[in-house]
Amino acid sequence: MVSASGNNKMRVGIAGLDHWYAGLGAARAVAADPDVDLVVVAHRDEARARETARRFGAAEWTTQYDAVVQRDDLDIVVTACRTSENADLCMQAAARGLHIFSVKPIAMTRDEAARIKEAVDRSGVRFLSAESDRRLNRQYQLIKEWIDEGRIGRPISVAQQWRAPLPTQEWPGVTGRTWWLNPAYTPCGGWMDHAIYTVDMLRWLFDSEVVAASGLVANLVHKDLASGLEDFGSALLTFGGGQVASVEVTWTAARGASIATTHIVGSEGALLLDSQMPGRATVSGHFEPFSGWSSVTLPEVESIVAGPTFSQFVAAVREGAPLPAGVDDACRNLDACFTFYEAARSGGTGQVAPA
């Protein structure tokens, strides 16, 4: 692919560093790739925008996010902005023919997400939302291979617990009242913050859509959170293929004590992932020559802060290769999450509209 500048280098702009680990991860990935140029970095904090541009070799910096997505000399834009800003930025980027690597969740409402999808579909640009990163992760790709090969039989259920601390880190090494804690900038609280990754992962692993959701949201530790935000959520998700997932995701962990476990159960075995055992999976089923439970090594992967997902997005755009997810997946993930919240707050069970 020839870039907008007429040479063979892909040219990238970053619109926002509010979702700083995604934005800085993308900048770091660009700086490490000799075939990619970081053209411009935007952030509302001028000093951080200037320093990030200097650190990662961007030619320009700005405090105006619109100034990035309205340029004609870019190929890809990263929207690491607040969710409340994402719909407008994505629609402007799509209108300019820019491929989009998006913040998650992509929108504040279903209607906003639908407008993003319409703009992306109309323009034909490539789109990937950050919650689909498991699909580009070699460890999860191997797990999907195991499931597809029938090593645990027919997948029937999942139990996940993912506990993180309250998001008070507004920048590496800097704590404060972050945008994640302001309902004007983000649609929901601690459950969606990380559960949206799980929703996308399970839709992909099972090749099946969420069809019903129920559960509970509450503020168990942080009673002073703004209205509309929660620090605890426990969802029961039912998939069209018959699988059932229990997904408990919270902001109740102590600082520095995040933990995540995922137990995928099949009719003939199971897979267990534990963040306290990185690079390993505990398995049972058809994993010859082992019998019973065994611990196996997973492929090495880069830290998320190194931007591996963004690197693969750039490579797919450059080579014209297919991506494992797109704007339709981002919309379905958001819809499933909203259905859970609506059911939890009403005390009923929500049905997800067919695709």
The residue extents of the domains of the chain are 10-133+309-324, 155-266+334-351
Per-chain mean pLDDT for the chain: 95
Q: Check residue 32 and give its pLDDT.
A: 93
Share of the chain above pLDDT 70, in %: 97
Q: Check residue 10 and give its pLDDT.
A: 96
Greater pLDDT, 240 or 349: 240
Share of the chain above pLDDT 90, in %: 91
The pLDDT of 60-89, averaged and rounded, is 98
pLDDT at 207 over 70: yes
Greater pLDDT, 285 or 355: 285
Q: Check residue 268 and give its pLDDT.
A: 98
Q: Report the sign of the C-alpha dihedral through residues 56, 59, 61, 67, in that order.
A: negative
Q: How confident is the model at residue 219 (pLDDT cuts 50, 70, 90)?
A: very high
Q: Could you tell me if 233 and 343 are in contact, meaning their C-beta atoms sit under 8 angstroms apart?
A: no
Letter string b/e over residues 145-163, b meaning 16 or more CB atoms within 10 A of that residue's CB: ebbeeebbeebeebebebb
Task: Look up the pTM and report it.
Answer: 0.95
Tens digit of each residue's pLDDT (9 = 90 or more) over 276-335: 999 999 999 999 988 899 999 999 987 665 567 899 999 999 999 999 999 999 999 999
Q: Could you tell me if 314 and 29 are in contact, meaning their C-beta atoms sit under 8 angstroms apart?
A: yes
Q: Check residue 8 and give its pLDDT.
A: 79
Which of 205, 221, 36, 59 is CA-nearest to residue 137?
205
Q: Check residue 7 and give its pLDDT.
A: 63
Greater pLDDT, 352 or 201: 201
CATH topology of domain 155-266+334-351: Dihydrodipicolinate Reductase; domain 2 (3.30.360)
CATH topology of domain 10-133+309-324: Rossmann fold (3.40.50)
